[in-house]
Amino acid sequence: MRLEENPQFPQSPDSAYAQNLIFTLTRLHRVIAAKVNGLSDGRLGVIDNALTAAPTTGTWAQGDFVRNSAPAEAGTAGSKYVTFGFLCTVGGTPGTWVPARFLTGN
């Protein structure tokens, strides 16, 4: 189910406050709907913590996951893989990270 990106709020607000409130709610709803719809579609562009390598700064908890924004096939014949993200195995600043990979079968 997708969120409606053009909400229908009352069209004739009776005060400047109500007009500003409706404007702000409409804008906020559009941003939230675009983010949720992008996430449900699996779009990488809406994910805020996608990186090309494991984090080297910031404080992270065990179990945190960062998507790889530049996945590519690597390895040698018979053991090729794609790193699709990075998993924090020991929390800290920046924590201990391991690549999350899957074999491609090539």
pLDDT in tens, 89-101: 999 999 999 999 9
Q: Tell me the average pLDDT across 52-80.
A: 93
Tell me: the pLDDT tens digits for 31-49?
Answer: 999 999 999 998 888 888 8
Contacts of 54 (CB under 8 A, 6+ apart): 66, 86, 94, 97, 98, 99
Is the pLDDT at 103 greater than 70? The verdict is yes
Token pair in block for residue 84: 């699709």
At 54, the pLDDT band (50, 70, 90 cuts) reads very high
pLDDT at 79: 87
pLDDT at 2: 85
